[in-house]
Structures are given as structure tokens and as C-alpha cells.
Structure 1
């Protein structure tokens, strides 16, 4: 279908008015095809977030003038789509070739890319009113494209580009297999595109069962793997998400350490016998910028941060956590 108006169209208003279709809009984008290998794929947007196709274009919930898009019917049978003036929007769109309360959504957006720049994204989200079953407004299927790299999770043996879980799964923890389909051997890279609304009391890891290692997720983190095989890798990578029950110290009189910035370095002055094991930095809006393990004798950490106010989170061997606000100047 297409936007029939000479103004932009609100995807959320369109989906709310057309209950005969699932709550996701899809956009076709032939991102980097070179005539030999292909990376064409579908971008998607719904109430949980969005996934792109490897370029700079990611859906934002606004459909541009004359923009074509796809929707999936909720059930078999005939139905009609309606467009009304109430759906028209003044927000800036993202164009592709031939909302909801976002603060309540926890998002982990991942990508995989090969040496030919062929690429695929998936989004794992958590929302209070989501379930582990298919939620039309928050889950999106992975439509078959032409990409040489495909990254997805599964729900009821169906490939998903966006999969949303309830936040009640945080306490017990959730393990989400990440499936990768490859048409070329060689080096590949998994990258964290975004971590949204997670704070210091979460453990976020990707397990590589072949290399028998866990990789801690942080904003823009990436790791590489090599393979001499092609096909579907459905039991190698697992995403682990768990909220850790911790004692968070915010009263300065009870804090174990002092954290301050000086001469381009963040200094950790621990006055207790409880060893600092991990250090994280968040923007003032809550986005995780950096996380790292801390050695027993480490007292200074060099980070390339622009001037501003930041929140630092220290984790101790006793599993206690404390927060500090610092100014980088």
C-alpha cells in the first residue's frame, strides 16, 4: 500500500484504525546490493521500536509522501484499509526505496555484517504489557528478503525481526537464541547498535557456545567471529538478559568510594576492603556509554568523553552497587 496524502502519515494512527492488519509496517530497502551479492531486506516499525537494513535509514513511525509500505493481515478473508485526515502527520519521515510511550520500552538492537558489508538487524525489546506469545503491536516477523546475512530470533518456529518480552522476565532472566543465516564464509561482526533504558543493575551478555565465552554488551560494542561454513547457525549465539538484585548505595555517608574526574581521567578512590569489580558510565538521560571490568589494583580509567555531566555506577565483589555523578570538563 502507499501513503495517499500530500503530507506525511502517522504509522501508529494508521495501525490503530486498521485492526484487520498486524501492528507493524514494513519497508523494502535494497541497501547495498552490488549485482553479485545482495543485502536487500525489509525495514520494520511497530510499538516496540524499529529495525533498519544497514544504511542510515531506520523507520521512525512517520510514513513519507508517496511512500510505499507493507502490512500483514491478522487473519484470512477479505478486508479493507482506511485512510483518514486524522492520520496525517507533520513529523519528519524516513524515506525508503521501491507512537507509543517509548520510555517504557527496554531495547537491545543488534546487527551482523560480513566482509562484503552485507548486513542484517534484529531488535529484542521488553515492555510491561508485552507477553511471551505473539503481540501484534510489539512483534514483527522477519520477511524473506535477498540478503546474504540474516539475523533473527524465533517465536513458535517463526523468524522474527522484532521480538518483545514482558518485563516480568527480568527477575528470573531470559535466554534468547540468536539465529544467523550466512551465504558466505569468512569474518563476520556482531555489533550492539543500541541499548535503551537499561541501568547498572542488569547483566547483558551474548554467549558464543562455539568459543565457550560470554561477551558483555555495552553501547556500540562489537565482536568478530569466523566461520568456514555457510547455512543456518541456530545454536551458537544466545542473548542473556537478567536484572540483578543489588544493594544500591546513594547516601554519600555510606558510599565505599569516591569518584572524580581530573586531567582527562576518571579516578576511583576505594576506602573499603570490598573490591570494585565493574565500572559503567551513563549519559544524564540514562544511556549506557561504557562498561568495563575493573582489576583489583586499578584506580584510574581513561575514557574519551565529551564535556558534560555523567552518572557512574560501581559494582563491588559483595554485589553492592553505588552511583556517582561526575563532571567532565
Structure 2
């Protein structure tokens, strides 16, 4: 079974715009995403940075476009994300309420840049658990910034969401643990986003340890999504993601791309990078981390050499590259 995650950059500047792009059929980005999805050939695909709407119209249209290209996903799921849901407080301190940075997670509107699961196998939606309302202050050892105690009483930890969605397989349930953390930048001297990014990774450590009010999964699992932090390079409190990668309940297959790029100024292996920024270079931000009970067969980042025919589609789709891991559920 191949599980993958991909930040597809399908977050638009206004509600309904993604639906328009999908329904219109003329978006080069969406056409490129469809062709990449065919090449990726994942059984389960977690998309990050994809707009959410209550009736699932965008997700249904997107699945239709993928199916037309040859990548059918009959099972789809999404909880409403925290992005764009207003806190009612002036979080960024600019004297106004209702700005994108005043939301539970940055968003111009409710649902901007959410997450979605596409699957060839059924999803047990009735058993899916959404931990996105978990308050930041309730995390053990939380690195809360100084501020209004009333805000702390409503501020959720998850920027986008913390999901636990069971996948129905012939070998029993496989829990998909999904998240998309805030970037650890775009804040001030209080390092609010850096602290939050650190604690979003810490949430999963405590969750797997059984140290939170909600019990951890009682079956094999895969933690996947956009952690928005590189353990070796870039900004942020790197100890947060490093501690998660070293958790004994997880294994890091170290997926690598085949692009052959070099990053002399970076500490980390550029083959592990999953995103390319014009000013920062490559960083490893996206992760697929199976539980230690699972047998990993192969892993990679779909980032080929510059002369590969798929390279142009990847560039047109997103600056992030899909990360995939193959696991053996029959012989774990």
C-alpha cells in the first residue's frame, strides 16, 4: 500500500474560487496536479493547502478531475479546518478584529487551505476523530507566548487540524494521523508562530504517549502531513520536529528525491527536501511517518531530475513535492 502527502497549493484568495477553477476545466495547475497524481499512484493521498467547503463541492470536483486523468479515488474525507475560523480576539495586535491572523489558523476566510484525504480504500468516517479543537494551553509544557489569558481560553493549538481517520483494510484498521502546521515565521519578537509550530509537533508526541485526554490509536497508524519545519535547515525551533522524528512509536523512512540537487549552504541532505523556495532553497517540510509496528517496503519524494518529463508538471502544480511510503500490511 502506498501512502502519500502533498501540499498542492489549492488555496485560493476567496471562497468559491477553487470550485470555479475546478468546474471551468481550464486551470493549468489543476491539470498538472492530475497528471502528477497518476504518476504518484498512491492508494491514500493526504492533500494539504486545499480549500474546504461545507458540502465538499471542491473535493468532489477535484476527485472527478483526477479520475478523468486516470487516478480514481472513490473515497474522500475532510473535517472543517481551523483556518479562517475567527477567535474573536485581536491576535496580531494591529488594533482590529477579524483579520486573517486573528483566526484560529491563518485564513482569509473559513476553510481556506484545509486538508483532504483521497483514498482507494474505504474510510471509517464514523470512527474518525477530530482533535482540532484542542486548546494550546492544555498541551503539557506548552510554549505559550505571553498575552491575553482570555485568548488562551479559546486559542486552539492546531493551525489546520489534528485528525485521526481509520482506513479500512483487509488486515484491519490503519489510522491516518493528519496535520498541517503553521510556518514558524511571519510573526514578531514573541515568536508566536515558532512556538506554535514546535507545539503542533509536540502534540503528536504526547498523543502517542497517551498523555492527552484523548486515547492514542489502538491499531497501526501513519502520521502524515506538512510539518512546516526542517530538522536541519531554515527557521524555527527545530528541536520540535527532531523530537517527533525520534519518537520510538514512529519510524522515519527518510524518503529521497532523485533530482540530484546540491545545497552547499545547508546542513541537511538535499535529497530529503520536499519543497523548493526561490530565496531559501530546498527544505524538508512534508512527512509520512509510519508507526514502528509497520513494515516499510520503499519510500521517496517525487522530485525527479530536471530533464524528466514530469518535472514541468510538478513545477506547475506546486512548489512542494509529493512524499510517499510503501508499507506491507500483510506481513508487518
- The TM-score by the shorter chain falls in which range? under 0.3
Higher strand share: 1
Structure number, greater radius of gyration: 1
